[in-house]
Structure 1
Amino acid sequence: MSDVNQEISTPLDCPIRNFSVLLSSTRRGARLARLLATEQLRSWGLPSEDAAHVVAELAANAATHGRTAGRGFRLLMYVVGNTVRIEVTDTCGERPPRLQLPSGADENGRGLVIVEALADRWGVSLGPRPRKTVWAELTVTRSAARR
């Protein structure tokens, strides 16, 4: 069974949608993560702009700071009720991300600031070793969701 594009129903008939893909830890892989996430959210009938920005930042961090030679990162998105959860897992668990405000001249370091601004909740889960997962949850309005 493929781990991409699975949809199941819960006993309460509330659909749980999920999407998972393994990508290369490169700038191209990060860009592809955003494109795939945008298209998947669109196919689910959900607003994609904020979620796409979150995916872009988390994937860029995984490709830049969580990169381990020969290993990729996994993008997982799932929707339960009105919540979209985005998870990006890489194999560099010894370097958890930190939220820090960049100085005005810095061109880098704004990724988690953007995630903090767009997500309702976000965090980091470690393990199993050597992995870490950076996750974010966004609430979508029911009127935006297609039934």
Structure 2
Amino acid sequence: MTSNPTSSIATARPAQNPHPTHHFEMRFSSTPRGARLARRLCGERLHAWGIPYGTEAHDTVTLLAAELTANAVRHGRVPGRDFHVRLTTAPDATVRIEVTDTRGERHPEPATLHPGPDRTDGRGLLLVAALASRWGWHLRTCGSPGKSVWAEYGQA
């Protein structure tokens, strides 16, 4: 078991804005289909909130959603348990995506080395670190098993 790394991601759970401008949350099945649906619904919500399709902000946040939900399915899956997605925007135009799974013993670790060109995996958190303004993770605080991985994208 590893602890929450301190070198490249925020370690403390940042306080969420108590009054988000927009808020969307939903549970999805821990399957590739659930991850695809979560990504699509996040993209639709962003567009409805005034972050239109094809803009840098929309594409970036949608990619962050895709990576975090895919990781929840691949690394955080517990059979019979769903994952939870929360998407919010703040008055300062920061968009936050948070994905919660029920597997608390597997913690995300930032990649220290780039995977070789022959590998088809191992780039998800590299993308998250490169695209997000900041990101991190924390254990679920409600006493339930699992963890939440979050990323923020600032448009300002």
TM over 0.5: yes
Counterpart among 54, 60, 64 of residue 70 in structure 2 = 60
Matched, 1:43 2:48: yes
CA offsets 1:59-109 (integer angstroms, 9 cap, x no match): 000011100010010010101121101000000010011111322221001
Shift of residue 131, structure 1, vs aligned partner: 1.4
Q: Distance in 2 between matches of 1:76 and 1:107?
A: 28
Gaps of 5+ in 1: 1-8, 142-147
1:107 equivalent in alignment to 2:120: yes
**Structure-1 residue corresponding to 2:35:** 30
What SS does structure 1 have at the residue aligned with 2:117? coil
Runs of 4+ in 1 over 2 A off after TM superposition: none
- Please give the per-residue CA displacement for 1:35-77, whole angstroms capped at 9, x wherever unaligned: 0000000000014100000000000000111000100100101
Identity among equivalent positions (%) equals 47
Asked whether the equivalents of residues 75 and 89 of structure 1 are also in contact (C-alpha less than 8 Å), the reply is: yes
Give TM-score, length-normalised by structure 1: 0.83
TM-score in terms of structure 2 length? 0.78
Higher strand share: 1
